[in-house]
Amino acid sequence: MKIEQIYTGCLAQGAYYIESNGEVAIIDPLRETQQYVDKANKENAKIKYVFETHFHADFVSGHVDLAKKTGATIVFGPSAKTDYDAYIATDNEEFKLGDVTIKVLHTPGHTLESVTFLLIDENGKNHAIFSGDTLFLGDVGRPDLAIKSDLTKEDLAAMLYDSLRNKIMPLEDDVIVYPAHGAGSACGKNLSKETVGILGEQKQTNYALRSDMTKEEFVEEVLDGIPPPPQYFAKNAMMNKSGYDTFETVLQKGDVALNAEDFEAIANREDALILDVRNEKDFVKGHIPNSIFIGIHGGFAPWVGALITDLKQPILLVTPKGKEKETVTRLSRVGYDNTLGYLDGGMETWKAAGKDIETIESISAEEFSKRFKNENISTLDVRKDGEYKSEHLEGDNVQHFPLDFINDNMTAINSDKTYYLHCAGGYRSVIAASILKARGFNNLVDVAGGFVALKNTDLPISNFVCPSTL
């Protein structure tokens, strides 16, 4: 028996390759599926099943493509309904994979069709659970993402309580836990940085598995502090339910080199969004007018999903050299399949063609400190709510303006004013500045180094509040 976790940091997502006696199951595969086919071929094994723990909301799974390529059967849990061929398993149904068995445990709560897959080894011993978004390390899945359900999040939270206590917690303490996500995922609020654990440890340390916890306490604690889901979650879930274009088709359309003239012409003709994925320091020094920055080196896919509201939006790319194909791939992981090409040679090509270039003023924390003390400047803190409440710059003209909800909150600021923007380290503030600039806010100053750098000055900072108490 072989188990391999294939973890993708940008999505904080774990897919799983399970092999026994020449037969393979893939659990929750990524959009680009050739990697699983190659792995099975290398082992001279055949992919028999593609198991889906639920309709994922935070990424587009590769289950449809993988089944077409290999002839594998897609397996979902009870109550799942798809627009493509899939096997809908019953609770406690077992599937043979070589010498091992994979048992379906219906664990509704995160979503109605959510299941946990129990791996039973060749000796009949419960070996591991692939818990999807039902159980994370340190947390459980948020119960507010069900597609077209008449149930409330409180109803689903109550279901999750029962699922955990009736299906998961009775399992042996030495059962290995392989969750679908780790820290950084928006599918929970307190996920561990670890990506593999032991069930007994979770019973001792995970707040949601306290043995003396009532259902009412569970519902209250699980729902407390959950932010609204990113706008793309429901759209990705529907793609996973309904199907999508093949990854190879998306890549072929998007991985196209364009000269400056063609790039500009397509941008105008298709009303395409120009997405610049270089480093934020390069972006502020010079970028194409009206382009949006979301750096590929940061939390790229989740920020794209949170900020670009139309999955069908035509997109043109400005990338670091050699990152063109990767960028198209990572966009497709969250359902943005309409990339039309990239600027061949990047900004150097644009400059050589004599095209217009814009910049954003960027200053050090020390320079910001001088201006803050001597001028009546307006500051936008674009960090998340918990970060701001934990610790922030104090002043009458300091405004919390979270990047997550920038599209909703733009009317709260004045395009005629000058704003100084900061985040934690400098990545998100440039994203925010690029969006505001494209919307007609021309008087923007980025604070390089963000709040980390500001804390090293003598500016007034609020008293620290531990984030775990918020």
As a whole number of angstroms, the distance between CA 88 and CA 335 comes to: 24
Reduced to 3 states (helix: H, G, I; strand: E, B; else coil), residue 28 is coil
This prediction has a pTM of 0.93
DSSP label of 404: G
Which is it for the CA torsion 56, 61, 65, 66, positive or negative?
Answer: negative
Q: What is the CA radius of gyration of the chain?
A: 24
As a whole number of angstroms, the distance between CA 53 and CA 18 comes to: 15
Stretch 74-83: mean pLDDT, rounded? 97
As a whole number of angstroms, the distance between CA 275 and CA 414 comes to: 25
* Pick from 185-194, 233-242, 327-336, 430-439: least confident: 185-194
Residue 130 has phi, psi (to 5 degrees) of -105, 95
Amino acid found at 414: N
* CB-based contacts of 344, cutoff 8 Å, min separation 6: 257, 258, 259
Can you list the alpha helix ranges (DSSP code H) found in 75-174?
A: 153-163
User: Cβ of 264: how many Cβ atoms within 10 Å?
Assistant: 19
Q: How confident is the model at residue 196 (pLDDT cuts 50, 70, 90)?
A: very high
Q: pLDDT tens digit string along 133-156?
A: 999 999 999 998 876 668 899 999
Q: How confident is the model at residue 256 (pLDDT cuts 50, 70, 90)?
A: very high
- Sheet containing 13-20: give its strands across: 2-8, 13-20, 23-27, 46-51, 73-76, 87-88
In the predicted model, is pLDDT for residue 469 greater than 70? no
Q: Across the chain, what does the average pLDDT equal?
A: 96
pLDDT of residue 151: 87
Which is nearest to 145 in space by CA: 85, 218, 226, 225? 226
Amino acid found at 466: C
